[in-house]
Amino acid sequence: KAGVTQTPRYLIKTRGQQVTLSCSPISGHRSVSWYQQTPGQGLQFLFEYFSETQRNKGNFPGRFSGRQFSNSRSEMNVSTLELGDSALYLCASSLFYLGTGTEAFFGQGTRLTVV
Partner 1 sequence: ELKVEQNPLFLSMQEGKNYTIYCNYSTTSDRLYWYRQDPGKSLESLFVLLSNGAVKQEGRLMASLDTKARLSTLHITAAVHDLSATYFCAVGTGNQFYFGTGTSLTVIP
Name the residues that contact partner 1, by CB under 8 A.
33, 35, 42-45, 48, 55-56, 58-59, 90, 92, 97-99, 101, 103-109
Whole-number minimum distance, CB 28 to partner 1, in Å? Answer: 17
Report d(CA 62, CA 48) in Å as an integer. Answer: 15
Residue type, 4: V
Closer CB to partner 1, 55 or 73, in the complex: 55
Which residues, other chains included, contact 88 with Cβ-Cβ below 8 Å and sequence gap of 6+? Answer: 36, 37, 38, 109, 110, 111, 112
Whole-number minimum distance, CB 115 to partner 1, in Å? Answer: 20
The neighbouring-strand residues paired with 112 are 11, 87
Closer CB to partner 1, 65 or 79, in the complex: 65
Closer CB to partner 1, 41 or 80, in the complex: 41
SS3 state of residue 24: strand
Whole-number minimum distance, CB 97 to partner 1, in Å? Answer: 7
Closer CB to partner 1, 45 or 79, in the complex: 45
Whole-number minimum distance, CB 43 to partner 1, in Å? Answer: 4
